[in-house]
Amino acid sequence: MLLILQILIFQMTLALETTIEISENVKNWSDIQLSSPNNTYILKIGNTANFLYYAINVELHKQDDTFSLHYGIGKTPRFNLNLSEISDVEGFDIYGYLENRFVHFILLQSQDFNQQQVYISTSSEWTQNYNITVTGTNYKMCPNNCSNQGICQDGKCLCNKYYIGNDCHQNATYIEQNKEIFLSLENTIKYAYVDLEQSQNQSMSLIVKTNSSEGVDIYIMKTRILYIPVLEDLNRKYYDLLVEGNEVAQNYPIEFELQDKNDSSTQVQKRIRFIFKQKSPVEQNILISLDLINLQTQNTISTNTVIVIVASIAGIIIILSISFAIGKYYRNKKIKETLSALAQVRQMQHEKKYCAKSFDEQILEQLPQIQNDQQKNTDVCPICLDLYINKPDLRSTKCKHLFHKECILTWIYINKNCPTCRSDLKIHMNHPNNQQHS
């Protein structure tokens, strides 16, 4: 009885195994698998075939979050999904499984199995129909041809703007520097990303705000695998490996500092990807604002501000210094002019260039005498700069300024304006010598 059971199991195993033959003339193999949850394929490489890579592509007829694609070298693969490190898993299409994809993809390198038997297995908890294709190629193919939304380079998809994912299938909002972006959730999940390729190794900061009173969940993806919050049962096991979760409250925005790690080990775009999901099960229109700031630019602006302030203060000091210098120059000039006039007066006094006494009396009649006792002991004559009390005969002009009699008489022969305020003294002289002195 036991022998019969073993034979049946062996026959069932053979029935589930399909040989895939790849040769120099036949580099593509395809098949349609119907109504079978688990299947194993043996990849048989012809002696004339000399391909560097073998691309395995599976397209499901319906979405199945339990479906997985594996391969094993020299032995059938184990269906062990207890993954310790998401980013370093061999023999398993981790993207198709964790993202619940219709398309699953594995790229084998011929030097990895080196003529050993290669087993390809599919597994599902449900009966699943799918198309499977194996292609021999000499260049690294990309999954799903990058969904026609990117360029395949060295087996990795370089996604176009507004697309993310290992095959560029997911639409996402591009967050630009120094430009506020608004997302509308409307009870849906939204993807967004920051492209660090343009940052030139500079640090940037993302500020996230929302108008939702209940808050919004935000996930920062740790790997290129797209975390799908709706697949809670599937993602719960790998949450800590896939994302870093945060919550944005209405009055408490979150700021993330983003820095380019300059990972030269891969040519894949250096993008930081975010997922936004509203917390409320009730459909509502929630707005999220995303403001990406270049920290170096911000620091530069702050430095420029300091420079402008310092320059402004220095400019004010310079202007005040120049104004003081100009004022001092004109004050000195005025003093020099006064001293020069005084020198002329004294020279005329020394040379005794006086007019007739009768003419002096005519001038003095127009300059009333002022009592010396009305003046302070410290008051001086503006012309000779001597004290009033030293020469008691004082005279007042029509503009009410006081001078020694001798000083103002001499001055009038030189200038008909008041030495103090420059107003016209309005002195009328009939002496014939007046013409030559005026």
Mean pLDDT for the stretch of residues 299-327: 79
Task: Output the CA torsion sign for 135, 140, 141, 142.
Answer: positive
What is the pLDDT, as a whole number, of residue 125?
A: 86
By three-state DSSP, how is residue 257 classified?
A: strand
What is the pLDDT, as a whole number, of residue 204?
A: 79
By three-state DSSP, how is residue 418 classified?
A: coil
Closest CA to 156 of 29, 27, 271, 67: 271
What is the pLDDT, as a whole number, of residue 132?
A: 92
CB 81 within 8 A of CB 123: no
**Domains of the chain as residue ranges with CATH:** 13-141 (2.60.120.380), 172-299 (2.60.120.380), 354-437 (3.30.40.10)
Closest CA to 422 of 388, 399, 404: 399
Mean pLDDT for the stretch of residues 261-280: 72
Contacts of 223 (CB under 8 A, 6+ apart): 86, 87, 241, 242
Strand partners, 255: 207
Residue 113, CA distances (Å) to 16, 45, 61, 116, 119 in order: 22, 11, 30, 5, 11
Digit-coded pLDDT (tens) for 177-195: 888 888 888 878 999 998 8
**pLDDT over 90 for what percent of the chain?**
18
Residue 378 structure tokens: 């410290």
Q: How far apart are CA 427 and CA 366, in angstroms?
A: 7
pLDDT class of 436 with cuts at 50, 70, 90: very low
CB 196 within 8 A of CB 271: yes
User: DSSP letter string over 340-388?
Assistant: HHHHHHHHHHHTT----HHHHHHHHHTS-EE-GGGS-TT-B-TTT--BG
What is the pLDDT, as a whole number, of residue 88?
A: 58
Q: Please indicate whether residue 392 or residue 159 has the higher confidence score (pLDDT).
A: 159
Q: How far apart are the first and last CA of the chain?
A: 153
**pLDDT over 70 for what percent of the chain?**
81
Q: How far apart are CA 431 and CA 423, in angstroms?
A: 22
From the DSSP assignment, how many helices (H) and strands (E) are in the chain? Answer: 9, 24
What is the pLDDT, as a whole number, of residue 369?
A: 84
- Tell me which of 257-261, 384-388, 389-393 is least confident: 257-261
Digit-coded pLDDT (tens) for 291-306: 887 765 554 445 667 7
DSSP 8-state assignment for residue 102? S
By three-state DSSP, how is residue 12 classified?
A: helix
Q: How far apart are CA 102 and CA 173, in angstroms?
A: 23
What is the pLDDT, as a whole number, of residue 380?
A: 86
Q: Please indicate whether residue 437 or residue 331 has the higher confidence score (pLDDT).
A: 331
What is the pLDDT, as a whole number, of residue 130?
A: 92
Digit-coded pLDDT (tens) for 35-51: 777 888 998 887 777 88
